Amino acid sequence: MVRELMVMIACVAGIAGVAQGQDCKVKFAVAYVEGKQIQPGLTQDQKKYWEKEGTKKFKGMCLDLAKPDYVVLWAVGVSGKELSQVAIANFNRNQDTGESTTAIRQTYWSRTSTSDERALTGAVYLKDWSGIRGKADYWILDLSKNPAATVREGQAYQDVPMGTNTRAGQGEKVNAEDVASTIPDPVTAMENALKWLKKDKKI
């Protein structure tokens, strides 16, 4: 995925932007990535953070979409998603048909089916799973390298407030994000990236 992001960086560098402040030791841009699509710019929350706090915390660093030295790319992801695939598929099948599939011996994935008509009429509350975590992944690309090089990567997230368990009614489907124990935090992802740049460049 990082290799694909490095190819798309050319799209960011060509978008006009205005550097903030006069004393710019490091110029940076921010862009959101979803699949193969890239959207340069800050979210409303990121913009609010940068204007109210970022410009004070990161003096000498300027937001510049036209000619950045570094680009902070971020994307929303879910870790531990593979852990939930069998269970989520089983739940959704149960919602559709009233049949559940149970793994008897996980090594060989032998299965048996059971039926329960009550599953078609009731509602189920699903607890957050600590093994499934929503996150905002980020990468810092150094544009002085040719091709652009990833110099830092990380993630940011917030714990899901207690009592926010998912309720699935009759016929409703569930996905991994619904039962994740954390949610992505794009603002902190950007902040963490800038903290690293500040430290690395001794600003």
Mean pLDDT calculated for residue range 4-24: 52
Confidence of residue 117 (pLDDT cuts 50, 70, 90): very low
pTM: 0.72
| Number of structural domains the chain divides into | 1
Cα distance between residue 139 and residue 171, in whole Å? 39
Mean pLDDT calculated for residue range 145-171: 83
Unique residue bearing structure tokens 């544009």: 143
Q: Inform me whether the pLDDT recorded for 194 exceeds 60.
A: yes
Maximum average pLDDT range among 3-12, 50-59, 81-90, 100-109:
50-59
Q: Does some domain include residue 43?
A: yes
DSSP run (H or E) holding 183: strand 182-184
What the block records as the tokens of 77 is 């992801």
What the block records as the tokens of 144 is 């002085």
pLDDT, the chain, mean? 78
Q: Which amino acid is at 144?
A: S
The pLDDT of residue 87 is 65
Q: Does some domain include residue 64?
A: yes
Cα distance between residue 83 and residue 133, in whole Å? 11
Q: Does some domain include residue 107?
A: no
Q: Does some domain include residue 86?
A: no
Mean pLDDT calculated for residue range 9-25: 55
Other CB atoms within 10 Å distance of the CB of residue 180: 25
**Which contacts qualify for 31-37: CB closer than 8 Å, 24 or more apart?**
31/71, 31/72, 31/73, 31/74, 32/73, 32/74, 32/75, 32/186, 33/5, 33/8, 33/73, 33/74, 33/75, 34/75, 34/76, 36/4, 36/8
What DSSP state is assigned to residue 161? Answer: P
Q: Does some domain include residue 136?
A: yes
State what percent of residues in the chain have pLDDT above 90.
47
The pLDDT of residue 22 is 54
Unique residue bearing structure tokens 């793994």: 103
The pLDDT of residue 116 is 46
Pairing of the two strands 70-79 and 26-34:
parallel
Which residues form the domain of 37?
Answer: 2-79+132-156+182-200
Q: Does some domain include residue 99?
A: no
Ranges 159-163, 178-182, 184-188: which has the least confidence: 159-163
